[in-house]
Amino acid sequence: MASLADDAAVERTAPGHYRADLSEDWSVWGPNGGYLAAVALRAAGDAAGGLLPVSLSCQFLAPARYGEAELTVERVHGTRRAAAFHVTLRQRNRTVLAAHVWTVADGLVGPERRWMPAPELPGPDELPALVDLMRRDGLPVLPIWERCYEVRLSGWPAGGWSPQRDGVPTVRGWLRLHEPLPTDADPWLAAARLVFAVDVVQFPAIVQAFEQTTFMAPSMDLYVGFQAGGDAGEWLLVEGEAASANGGTLGARARVWSDGGHLLATGGQQMLYRMASPV
């Protein structure tokens, strides 16, 4: 099974400079955007020292390839309370990804409020695996689902998949990595798992609105705000909502809670509409 801890690892080659080995396991139409963003976040985390992640804003500028990648991290602003870092990921002399990461010092105090309660869903043990539902209904199963993560989806029609014709196209369910994070995972690796979860739940929400998925949607950008630290548990409760399809772009939003109902991350992204190549 694929390991996010290993496959999104970075190696420091000089101050502010890193290398990574992009794994083919995390593939959709190429390396998954959330996976690439997780790699960038890990590099920022190494450069940030004891600071904690608050947000990631990432732009995908060129198709990535599997194999070696170079990353550069620059501290662009900083005080005793907060600092911002700029990350670039490059392959073959071109910039594939650019990201900004905000951080704060550990131990900051402030009001504690949460206004987005988790939706009420059956537990993951009470729901069928998404890959089993798709195989039952004759739908294609992506290798990344079998190699990297598992989804237990709520609300799948008993009579087989059909598009969501009313209301906002939405997916809700549980997600876990096949290879769990180490029990002593640092806050940046824990945040990298949230980046991946926020990313992967948004395109499926878009798909809910269409009779047939005859298109691809490469990520143009991705924003993730981290709302809480601490142990999130093995399963993450995820929710994706389609926002718009307009002018050749697709927009969506996402939220992630812990298995105990604590809001962990929120995010959104724009995707580029592209017709799928004929087989």
Per-residue confidence (pLDDT) for residue 277, from 0 to 100? 59
**Residue ranges in the chain assigned as alpha helix (H):** 4-7, 33-48, 130-136, 143-147, 187-200, 202-207
Residue 116 lies in a domain: no
Residue 198 lies in a domain: yes
Strands (E), the chain: 11-14, 17-22, 52-60, 67-78, 82-91, 94-104, 149-154, 170-177, 215-216, 221-226, 236-246, 249-257, 263-272, 274-275
pLDDT single digits (tens) 139-163: 888 889 999 999 999 988 887 778 8
Structural domain harbouring 236: 4-106+121-275
Total domains in the fold of the chain:
1
pLDDT single digits (tens) 16-37: 999 999 999 999 888 999 999 9
Residue 111 lies in a domain: no
Range of weakest confidence among 90-104, 152-166, 175-189 = 152-166
Residue 63 lies in a domain: yes
Does the structure show a pLDDT above 50 at 111? Answer: yes
Does the structure show a pLDDT above 90 at 7? Answer: yes
Does the structure show a pLDDT above 90 at 208? Answer: no
pLDDT single digits (tens) 37-78: 999 999 999 999 999 999 999 999 999 999 999 999 999 999
Residue 112 lies in a domain: no
pLDDT single digits (tens) 228-254: 766 678 999 999 999 999 999 999 999
Residue 222 lies in a domain: yes
Does the structure show a pLDDT above 80 at 108? Answer: yes
Residue 114 lies in a domain: no
pLDDT single digits (tens) 167-182: 999 999 999 999 999 9
Cα 124 to Cα 154: distance, rounded to the nearest angstrom: 9
pLDDT single digits (tens) 265-276: 999 999 999 887
Residue 264 lies in a domain: yes
Cα 90 to Cα 124: distance, rounded to the nearest angstrom: 38
Q: What is the CA radius of gyration of the chain?
A: 18
Query: In this structure, what CATH number is given to the domain that contains residue 162?
Result: 2.40.160.210
Per-residue confidence (pLDDT) for residue 139, from 0 to 100? 84
